[in-house]
Amino acid sequence: MTQSLSNRQAALEQARGLLAQCEKIVCFSGAGLSAESGISTFRDTETDALWSRYDPTKLASPEGFAEDPKLVIDWYDWRRQAIANAEPNAAHIALAGRPDIIQVTQNVDDLLERAGCKAESVFHLHGNITHDRCHARCGYQQKVDLGSPPGLRSCPMCNAPLRPAVVWFGETLPQWAWQQSEQHCRTADCLLVIGTSASVYPAAGLIQLTKTYGGKVLVINTQPSGASALADMELIGPCGEWLPQLLS
Ligand code: OAD
Ligand 1 near 126 CB (within 6 A): yes
Q: What is the pLDDT of residue 126?
A: 98
> Which pTM was predicted?
0.96
Which residue, by CA, sits nearest to atom 16 of ligand 1? 32
Residue positions annotated with a catalytic role: 126
pLDDT bucket at 195, cuts 50 / 70 / 90: very high
Q: What is the pLDDT of residue 47?
A: 64
Ligand 1 near 227 CB (within 6 A): no
Q: What is the pLDDT of residue 92?
A: 98
Domains of the chain: 1-38+87-126+173-248 (3.40.50.1220), 40-85+127-166 (3.30.1600.10)
pLDDT 10s digits, 62-113: 999 999 999 999 999 999 999 999 999 999 999 999 999 999 999 999 999 9
User: Ligand 1 pocket check: which of 28, 106, 206, 225 to mutate, most ligand atoms within 8 Å of Cβ?
Assistant: 106
Q: Which of 181, 201, 193, 200 is nearest to 227 (CA)?
A: 193
Is the pLDDT assigned to residue 43 strictly greater than 90?
Answer: no
CB 211 within 8 A of CB 217: yes
pLDDT bucket at 196, cuts 50 / 70 / 90: very high
Alpha carbon of 13 to ligand 1 centroid (Å)? 26
Which residue, by CA, sits nearest to atom 10 of ligand 1? 44
Q: What is the pLDDT of residue 51?
A: 86
User: Phi/psi zone of residue 237: left (φ > 0), alpha (ψ -120 to 50 degrees), beta?
Assistant: left
pLDDT bucket at 119, cuts 50 / 70 / 90: very high
End-to-end CA, the chain: 24
Cα–Cα dist 62/168, whole Å: 7
Ligand 1 near 105 CB (within 6 A): no
Is the pLDDT assigned to residue 159 strictly greater than 90?
Answer: yes
Alpha carbon of 141 to ligand 1 centroid (Å)? 27
Contacts of residue 211, Cβ cutoff 8 Å, sequence gap at least 6 = 217, 230
Cα–Cα dist 248/246, whole Å: 6
- For the chain, the average pLDDT equals 95
